[in-house]
A and B are shown apart, each in its own frame.
Chain A
Amino acid sequence: MSTFTASITYTHTVTYVTTKMLLTLKEIIREIGLDPARFTDSWDSYERAISTWLSSRHLQRVTLEVYDPRNNGLVTRWDMDVLYSTVGDGSLWVDTAAIRYSIVKAGLVPAHCRYDIILTTAPGRPDVAGWGSCDFRSTDGFQRFSVGATVGGNGLSAQTAYWSR
């Protein structure tokens, strides 16, 4: 786990958590056996949306949906649920080791699988160019497993979980 403390504003926290959420997503994509290149093509767009909606406190969840393009069915899913609070201990931290440990348990996906990034927001969010509404793939037959808090800081943290059959 990496952690540090300093005089931290909410803007610092948003910047840090946004960057580490994207790092975590990239690590998951690579470690489950898929190519992160397509994910990094849209890094700027993901970063803009996540930071905008963390700043406005509308972001509720960041989801990586992995699906089989042959039938569009869900193969696995990773959620990062955002928790807002009014208190913090003045530190920023990320725990990628917890993610890697869980990936070992969740296992690899077939190489032909594709993935989408979906952000869930509260009503009244400010618009971000390039982002619109969409639906989740069905999780029927899947179970949700909690990994725990993987990134956080002053009044902001992300709880990670994955779905598996």
Chain B
Amino acid sequence: MTVVARRVASTPTRTATQTWDKIVEILAPDPRSPAREELAKAAGVACSSISSEAIKDAPIVVWSGGPRVRVYGVFDEDAITGDGVNEDALSKSPTAGDWRMSIPCLPEDVKWSNGKLAAVSNRISARSLEDDIDDDQSESASAARSLTINAEEFLKP
């Protein structure tokens, strides 16, 4: 499992919306891509997460067929000085194929955040910042999706 990390400057250098816009720019560099549209629908939940600084220690995680991407937020003095910030473009867009995203949030925000996200996306979900993403779980989930059998086609004579 290859993991790539990015650390994006947030408050007080950027507002929550500006921080999310920068994260989206890194994860979906093509402004006309379907992923951009889908990520835009998650902006409210993402801004709630960013404003609570949940992404300071618990990353936004994106996985698909390629390297897993972890995006952290950098806050306070480090966001001003740029210490630890890495906003370099990725060599390959992680949202180009069959991708999934997990956004960390405060434990008390998980329920309504997932309700909101479920209404706008089947790729993006929220988790408690106290929970990590299981590498094997997401890998097997990706594998399961890639091996889904079209029963109708399979049973054709």
Contacts and interface: CB of A to CB of B under 8 A. Distances in A.
A37 B76 contact: no
A12 B16 contact: no
Interface residues of A, number: 30
A6 interface: yes
A12 B11 CA distance: 8
Contacts of B11: 15-16, 19-20
B48 A26 contact: yes
Contacts of A36: 48, 109, 112
A97 interface: no
A39 B11 CA distance: 20
A75 B75 CA distance: 36
Contacts of A125: none
Contacts of B50: 19
Interface stretch (B26-34, B39-47, B57-65, B133-141): B39-47
B12 A13 contact: yes
B76 A43 contact: no
Contacts of A35: 112, 115
A7 B80 contact: yes
A16 B9 CA distance: 13
Q: Which of A23, A41, A42 has the most CB of B within 10 A?
A: A23
A82 interface: no
Interface string B1-22: 0000000000111111100000
Contacts of A47: 15-17, 47
Interface string A27-68: 000100001110111111001100100000000000000000
Given A15-B12, A30-B109, 5 more contacts: A12-B80, A15-B14, A19-B16, A20-B51, A37-B115
28 contacts: A5-B77, A8-B12, A15-B11, A15-B12, A19-B12, A19-B16, A19-B50, A23-B51, A26-B48, A30-B112, A35-B115, A36-B48, A36-B112, A37-B116, A39-B44, A40-B44, A40-B116, A41-B44, A42-B44, A43-B44, A43-B47, A43-B48, A44-B43, A47-B16, A47-B47, A48-B17, A92-B12, A92-B76
